A and B are shown apart, each in its own frame.
Chain A
Amino acid sequence: MLVSYNWLKEYIDVSDLSPEEVAEKLTRGGVEVDAIHRYQETINGLVVGEVVETKPHPEAEKLTVCQVDLGTENAQIVCGAQNVSEGSKVAVAIAGTELPNGMKIEATTLRGEESNGMICSLDELGVQEKLVPKEYAEGIVILPADSSVGDDALPILNLDDAILELDLTPNRADCLSMVGIAYEMAGLLDRSLQLPEVEHGAIRENAIDQVDVTIEAPEDNPYYGAKLIKNVQVKDSPLWLQNRLIAAGIRPINNVVDVTNFVLIEYGQPLHAFDFDTFGSNEVVVRRAEAEEEIRTLDEETRRLQNEHLVITNGKKPTAVAGVMGGADAEVTSETTTVLLEAAHFHPARVRKASKDLGLRSESSIRFEKGIDVTRVTEAAERAVALLEQIADGKPLAGTVEADHRMNSEVTINANVTTINNRLGTDLSLEEMTDIFRRLSIAVTSVNAEEFEVHVPARRPDLLIEEDISEEVARLYGYDQIPITLPEGTTTPGALTAKQQTKRNIRRFLEENGINEAITYSLTSETQADRFLHQTEKNETVRMALPMSEERSVLRKSLVPHLLEALVHNQNRQIEDVALYEMGSVFLSEEEQLTKQPHEKETLAAAITGLWRTHLWKGEKQSVDFFIVKGIVEGLAEELGLTVGLRFSQQAIDGLHPGRSARIEMKNQTVGIIGEVHPALQKEWDLKQTYVFQLDLETIMALDAEPLQYTPLPRFPSTSRDIAIVVENKVAAGEVEEIIKEAGGEILRHVQLFDVYEGEHMEEGKKSLAFSLTYLHPERTLTDEEVQDAHQAVLQALEVKVGAHLRQ
C-alpha cells in the first residue's frame, strides 16, 4: 500500500507533522512504513509557462522553437515533443534546475537556436513510465488551462508529495485504504476524521426498472449492488484525480475507470464499471463458472475457467471474473454512455483461487483476498457515483439494485480491566481503556466498574477476542509505556541435558584438535544421498514433493558428501589443507512412500585433506593419513569414556578405498566408518587425498561410558619386556595385540606396538611386529619367574594362533 501524504491530509489534519513524523507514528503503532518516496527534492525551478508562439526549428525537423511566457520574462525554449502547441500551459524547468534523472538544465544552443530551459514530460519529472497517462506518454505534460503563469508547477503536478510505502501485517487489511489509514492516524493522534462526500443527485428513473441482479452462489458472493449512470462522457480525468492515482501507483486511464480506482484506494472497496450497452442483457447473474468456460478479459487474453472460479454473467455468458478482471466485451470505452457500476463483496477464497489460477493479481483481487469492509460497499458505490456525476457529467439513476445475503456478523467482545492489566503489566483504569476505543472510533459500553463491551466495526475483522482488545490498549497506550519487569513465577534451574553437554564436549574436542566446524545443507541430490552409507537397516530416501532443483531434491543420509563438496570448494580457492567436521541429522526412512516422520539420526562426520601438521621453516610436514584420522576417533572415544570395546575392522565401504577403510565398533555395536575417499571418487571430484570418518552419535550417546573412578597409583615397580615377532603379512596388528593381552593375564598391564617392519632381510610375505609389554602387580614386586611365565604364555599363544615366531 502506497499512502500519499497530501491525499491523507484530506481526511485528517496532519499538516503540523512531516511525512517522516507521520511514518514514525504509524510504525510505532504497528503499521510499518518501509520507505518514504519523494519525487524529487532537488527540483527547485519548475514553473508554469504558457507557450505563446511556436515555429519549426530551421535546422531540425523534429524540434520546435517556442516562445514561453514565464510570468516574469519570456524565454525561448527548443522543444522536441510533438504535442507542444500555442496556448498550452506547460511545466518549464528553468536554467539551473536539476531533474530527478540527474539532468541539469542549462541555457544552451541547439543547432543554432538558443534554448533557455526545458519543457518537461512527466517521465522527466520522475514519474514512473508505467504510471504516466497515455495522453502524455509520448510528450510533455499539459497543465490545466487555469494555471497561473509563473507559479510553482510542483504542487499542480503533486510532485511536492511524499509517498509512504507500508509493509502491512496480514491482520491489518483495514489499512489497505486511505480511509482506513485515516482511522488509524486519528486513533494514534487523537484527532478528528473527515470522511468523503458521497451525496449525489439522481434522475427520475429507477435503476431497478432497468436491470436485475441475481446471485446463484450466495456463499461466494454475499452482496452484489448495481448502479446505473447515464449520459456519461468518457474522457481524461482532471489533473487532481490523475495525480491521486499516480501517487497511489495506478496509471490513469479515463475518468470512469479512474473513479473506480480512486474509490478502490480511498475505501478499499473494489468496484467495476461495465458498459451497459454492450453488457449483453438487462440482468446480472453471479454464478460459478462452468468447467472449460471461456472469457476474453480486458487484457485481450482468452481465459479458460474452472468450476472453482466465480463469474459475473449477463445471464448467458461471463462478463467478468469476479473480483479479478472484467471482460473485454463490456469494457468502458470512449463510446460508452451508460455505465453499470458493480459494488460487491466476493469471498476471499474464490478470488484467491481465480487470481492464482489465472495469474492475475490486482489491487482489487488483493483487497478481496484480505477481506473488505462489508458495511461500506454501498457507501463506496455512492462515492463513485458522486464523482462520476461531478467529472463525467453522469446522470445517476435512483437507487441501487441489490442482492443481499450478508449475515449480521457484528462482533461484541467483553473485556475486563483487571485481566488486561494483568496481561500487560499495566495499571490502567476503565476510563483510560475505553478512551482508547473512542479515539479509534470503536463503540464501547461500560458494563460495570471492571468490565466493558467493545462493539467491533466491520472494518476491523482482526478484533475477535479479549487478547485483541488488550493489544489495541497496549498499542495505543504505547508499547514504550509498558513497564519492564521480570517474571515473578516459579524459579527453575536452567541447564543443558547430559546429551546436549556431551555434544558440546565433542565439538570442543574436535576443535581443540584442529578441525573446523562446518554446517552444510540437509538437502542434497539423489546421487549424493546414496554414498558413504554403512547402515545395514533399510533406509529409503526422503524426497521433496516439489524440489527447487535436482541438487536439493532429497534429504541427506550421510554427512560426508557435503563435507567433501566443502573441501572441493576450498581446494578450488587454493586452500589445500582443510579439516572440517559437521554434527547434524541424517534422515532415514523405512518406507518408500512416507507416511510417518523419518528417523532423524544425530550424526558426526569429519573430512580432512592435505597437510595435517606443519612447521614450515623447520621443514616439518605431515600429510593426513589413515592413522591420524583414526587417532582422532580414538581420542574422541577417550573423551567419551568409551575406549573399552573400541574396534576398527577392515571392511570395504561404498565410496571409500577398499583397502583403507574400516567399520568402527564400540561395545560390539557398529557405530561408524572411517577411511580414505575412494581414489575414483577423488578423481571424479578433483579432490586431493582425503580421509573421512562418520559416527552414529545417537547410538554412541546411548552407550554407557566407563565410570570416571580413581585407581590407586602402583606402589611396586613394573617390569618391561620387548618382543619382536614375525608373522604373515595378512595378520592384523590389532589381532596380535588382542592375543597378547589375553595370554598375558592379569599382570600384563600395557601393550604398546613400537615397530612394524617388512622388506629387506625379511622373508617374502612376512612382516615383523615389535611390542613393548609392561607387567605389574598392584600388591607386590613381581618375581622374574612370574614375568617369565606370563611372557612365555604370550609367545606360545602367538605361535599357536597366528604362527608367529620370534624374530632372529
Chain B
Amino acid sequence: MINELSRLEDEALQEVVDATTKKELETVRVTYLGKKGPITEVLRGMGKLSAEERPVVGQKANEVRARIQEAIESKQQRLEEEELEQKLAEERIDVTLPGQPLPRGGKHPLTSVVEEVEDIFIGMGFEVTEGPEVEQDYYNFEKLNLPPDHPARDMQDSFYVSQDLLLRTQTSPVQARTMEKKDGKGPVKIVCPGKVYRRDEDDATHSHQFMQIEGLYVDRNVRMSDLKGVLDTFVKKYFGEEREIRLRPSFFPFTEPSVEVDVTCGLCGGKGCRVCKHTGWIEVLGAGMVHPSVLEMSGFDPEEYSGFAFGMGVERFAMLKYGIDDIRHFYTNDTRFLSQFKRA
C-alpha cells in the first residue's frame, strides 16, 4: 500500500504540474483529495491491515495528502498571479489620450484685480465700502471740492440723469459718504471699488464705463510719509517686491498736496523701454493728502484729523499686469479673452 501511495503521489504531482487553469487544478484536487478520491480509498482499506502496518500506512497517507495539498495550493497561487498579470496587460490604456475637461469658469480679469487689491488693503486693516452708481451731484463733486464751473460738471462730460443726479464719474463720493457716517470720529480706513462713467467715445484707450478703486485713510497725525509708506507696501505686494515707487507733484481738487505715483517699469526694470516710453517709470496711481475742506465738509475737524486718499484705474492695472492692449476687451466678454484669466 505504501507503494500504491507513492505512485498516487507521483501521479498527482505530475497532474498538478500539467494543470494550466484553475479549473483543471480543481479537477486534480477533487480527483486526488476528494471524498471519493484514491487516498481516501487507501485510508478506508486500512482496516485490512495489521496493527503494525496501520500507523505506518496512515502516516504515509497523511504525508502524501499534505504534499499534494501543498502542491495544489502553490500552483493555485501561481495561476492566480498569472491570471492577474494577463488581466492587467489586457487593461492597459493609452495614458496620452486627453483627460475629461473639468467644468471651470473664471473670474473676469477686472474682478481679479479688484479682489487682489482689496485683499492687500484688508491685510493693512482697511475695510471695503461700496456706494451708489447713480450719485448726487453734491457727493460726486461739491463734497470733493470741485467748483461749480469745473469741466467735469458739464453735461458734455458726464452722464446726467437730472439736474442733480448723474452716473458717478469717480468712486470718491463713497469716501465722502463714509466719512459723513463716521460723525467726525476716526479712524477711517477704506477702499472703495466700483464702476464709474464718463461721456467718452469708446476706443482702444477710452471707455464710457470703467472701474476705479479709491482708498481713504483718515486718523490723527497721518503724514504724507505714511501715504508713501502705504503705497510703497501696496505696490510691492501687487506688482512685485523689486518694484520701486516715485511721487510727482500733481493736482486734484480734493487733495493737497497731490501726487502722481509712478512705479518702475516691469518690463525693463527701470532702464527704459517702449512700454514706459523710455522713462523707466509707469504712472499707476493718483493720491494726496485729503484737502482740509473735504474733511470739514464731511464733519471731520482738519485741525485734529488728517489723512490721505488714493485712486487707481482697474482697467489700467489689468492692462499693465497682463499686457492687454485694448480696453474694449473687458466689456465684449469674448470667451477667448475671458478664459485666459481662469487662474488669475
Contacts and interface: CB of A to CB of B under 8 A. Distances in A.
Interface of A: 27-30, 32, 169-172, 348-349, 352, 422-426, 465, 467-468, 470-471, 474-475, 479-480, 482-497, 500, 504, 507, 510-523, 542-548, 552, 555, 566, 569-570, 573, 575, 578-581, 584-585, 587, 593-598, 600, 613-617
A542 B134 contact: yes
A497 B128 contact: yes
B216 interface: no
A422 B289 CA distance: 12
A575 B333 CA distance: 12
B313 to A, nearest CB: 14
Contact of A546 (B108, B121, B124, B160): B160
B251 A169 contact: yes
Contacts of A480: 246-247
B105 A517 contact: yes
A488 B306 CA distance: 13
Interface stretch (B57-65, B75-83, B195-203): B195-203
Interface string B113-124: 001001001111
Contact of B247 (A479, A494, A511): A479
A422 B304 CA distance: 12
B225 A597 contact: no
Given A352-B149, A468-B256, A507 B107 contact: yes
A491 B209 CA distance: 35
Contacts of B222: 487, 489
Contacts of A616: 98
25 contacts: A30-B248, A352-B149, A484-B229, A486-B226, A486-B233, A488-B226, A489-B187, A489-B220, A494-B124, A494-B126, A495-B127, A516-B338, A517-B105, A517-B107, A521-B208, A544-B159, A544-B167, A545-B162, A546-B199, A548-B208, A575-B334, A597-B134, A597-B136, A613-B103, A617-B98
A614 B101 contact: yes
Nearest to B163: A545
B43 interface: no
B248 A485 contact: no
Nearest to A554: B161
Q: Which 9 A-B pairs have the closest CB atoms?
A: A425-B225, A30-B249, A514-B103, A169-B251, A425-B223, A471-B257, A489-B219, A566-B333, A494-B122
A349 B150 CA distance: 11
B249 A474 contact: yes
B189 interface: yes
Contact of A566 (B121, B133, B306, B332): B332
B165 interface: yes
Contact of A543 (B111, B161, B224, B233): B161
B226 to A, nearest CB: 4
A629 to B, nearest CB: 13
B27 to A, nearest CB: 43
Contacts of B135: 597
Contacts of B160: 544-546
A485 B223 contact: yes
B226 A518 contact: no
A594 B259 CA distance: 38
Given A500-B128, A511-B105, A516-B338, A486 B133 contact: no
Nearest to A514: B103
- For the residues of B in contact with A, the DSSP-based class is mixed
Interface string B231-252: 0110000000000001111110
Contacts of A578: 335
Given A494-B124, A517-B106, A523-B209, A479 B249 contact: yes
Contact of A485 (B133, B189, B228): B228
Nearest to A577: B335
Contacts of A486: 226, 229-230, 233
A467 to B, nearest CB: 4
A522 B197 contact: yes
A92 B106 CA distance: 64
A30 B250 contact: yes
Contacts of B187: 489-490, 492
Contacts of B20: none
A474 B255 CA distance: 14
A287 B13 CA distance: 133
A570 B126 CA distance: 39
* A491, A521, A573 pick with most chain B CB within 10 angstroms: A521
A615 B98 CA distance: 9
Interface in B142-165: 149, 155-156, 159-162, 165
Given A479-B246, A489-B219, A548-B199, A519 B161 contact: no
A598 B208 CA distance: 20
B34 interface: no
A524 B320 CA distance: 29
Contacts of A546: 155-156, 159-160, 199
A257 to B, nearest CB: 30
A609 to B, nearest CB: 11
B248 A27 contact: yes
Given A169-B251, A516-B105, A575-B335, A493 B125 contact: yes
B217 interface: yes
B250 A425 contact: no
Contacts of B115: 504
A34 to B, nearest CB: 10
Contact of A518 (B162, B251, B259, B333): B333
A170 B251 contact: yes
Given A507-B107, A522-B197, A494 B125 contact: yes
A484 B126 contact: no
Given A487-B226, A490-B186, A511-B104, A465 B292 contact: yes
Contacts of B195: 522, 584
Given A488-B221, A514-B102, A517-B106, 4 more contacts: A28-B249, A484-B232, A600-B133, A616-B98
Contact of A519 (B159, B199, B330, B334): B330
Contacts of A520: 331, 333
A545 B155 CA distance: 8
Given A483-B228, A548-B201, A513 B103 contact: yes
Nearest to A487: B226
Given A491-B125, A496-B122, A516-B106, A29 B249 contact: yes
* B111, B123, B330 pick with most chain A CB within 10 angstroms: B111
B111 A475 contact: no
B258 interface: yes
Contact of B161 (A30, A495, A510, A544): A544
Contacts of A32: 248, 250, 260
B97 A617 contact: yes
A34 B327 CA distance: 22
Contacts of B316: none
Nearest to B160: A545
B12 interface: no
Contacts of B110: 519
B86 interface: no
Interface string B308-339: 00000000000000000000001111111011
A710 B126 CA distance: 34
A616 B100 CA distance: 9
A547 B102 CA distance: 43
Contacts of A482: 224-225, 228, 247
Contacts of B246: 479-480
Contact of B208 (A493, A494, A523, A615): A523
B30 to A, nearest CB: 41
Contacts of A555: 134, 161
Nearest to A35: B277
A480 B247 CA distance: 7
B153 to A, nearest CB: 13
A426 B149 contact: no
B161 A485 contact: no
A116 B51 CA distance: 144
Contacts of B55: none
Given A517-B106, A517-B338, A545 B161 contact: yes
